[in-house]
Amino acid sequence: MQFFYSGITSGSIFALVALGFNIIYNTTGIINFAQGEFVMIGGMLIYTLLSIYGLPFLIAAPLALMAALILGAIFERVFIKSVRSPNEIKLITITIAASIILRGLGMVIWGRNSLSVDAYVPYKILELPAGTLTSNSLLVIIVSLITAFSLSLFFKRSSLGKAFRACYDDKIAAGICGVDVSKIRMLAFAIAALLGVIAGIVTTPITYVTYTDGIMTGLKGFAAAILGGLGSFWGGVAGGLLLGIFEGFFASVFPSGYKDAFAFLVILAVLFLRPKGLFGKKKAERL
């Protein structure tokens, strides 16, 4: 059972990252490979606000989230919008370049050490049947679920959310219907950055943060998004959790040295066998 609990914890993080991938994919059709870097920056921001400026968590967290929205918007304006004759391959390549730039900036600003912050909730070990879970892990799980739930509500119910989905289905048609496609795009990046920063904030007390963290986080989140089906919200969540749990069990059965390889096996297997993912849906759909 311990493998299951551990899996859910890391799975919730993957899920948050996968959601970030999905939002951008849903509105622009591209994969943002800098998503992992947003998580790293989230951890760094909360470290700066809490440990360097000594702010209480209740002020630091909203500040970090606001910074995330701004960062995401700037990211879109600087890296994505300014591209002439954009196509998907170009834009995806640009997100990879941007991730390298962000990583470099992270190193220059915050240095090369692993940084840690104190836990937000008192450290307790919860005894569960055949295993344990820490209070911090529980926090991660709860925050991910709440975030996924509110996002799904936002996209299903609010009119702005509908505009997001319209943009993915047909940009031109959406534009004709009075949707400001460019603004939606910027918002999508802002929300994706927000999700990254949320993930960064909740995981930093457990796993620390280093400037290179974005790579692995991004790849695992991507694997989760692929597993669940690109573009599907609950698919992203399920993909994240499944990947986390599989990984835990994988390490328990096979030599633990190959644990990471599993995420990449998942990407390959899904792309070969079921390209739309476990919970993916066809693109055409009535809104």
137-151 burial, b at 16+ Cβ within 10 Å, e below that, comes to: bbbbbebbeebbeeb
Please report how close the Cβ of residue 124 comes to other proteins at its closest, in angstroms.
10
Q: Please answer whether residues 70 and 194 qualify as being in contact, where contact means their C-beta atoms are separated by less than 8 angstroms.
A: no
Strand partners, 131: 128
Nearer to other proteins, 114 or 158 (CB): 114
Residues in CB range of 154: below 8 A, 6 or more apart? 160, 161
Task: Choose between 16 and 94: whose C-beta lies nearer to other proteins.
Answer: 16
Rounded to a whole number of angstroms, the minimum distance from the CB of residue 251 to other proteins is 4
Q: Cα dihedral sign for 256, 44, 106, 97?
A: positive
Residues that bind other proteins (CB under 8 A): 2-3, 5-6, 9-10, 13, 107, 112-114, 116, 123, 125, 131-132, 134, 203, 206-208, 210, 212-213, 215-216, 247-249, 251-252, 255-257, 259-260
CB of 199 closer than 8 Å to CB of 16: yes
Residue 208 beta carbon to other proteins: minimum distance, rounded to whole angstroms: 5
Which candidate, 219, 244, 212, 234, places its Cα nearest to that of 280? 234
DSSP string for 143-179 = HHHHHHHHHHHHHHHSHHHHHHHHHHH-HHHHHHTT-
Closest contact distance (angstroms) between CB of 80 and other proteins is 28
Nearer to other proteins, 76 or 247 (CB): 247
Instruction: Give the shortest CB-137-to-other proteins separation in angstroms.
Output: 9
Residue 2 vs 150, nearer CB to other proteins: 2
In the complex, what is the shortest distance from the CB of residue 240 to other proteins, in angstroms, rounded to a whole number? 14
Task: Read off the amino acid at residue 173.
Answer: A
In the bound state with other proteins, the residue whose beta carbon lies nearer, of 113 and 150, is 113
Closest to other proteins by CB, 218 or 229:
218
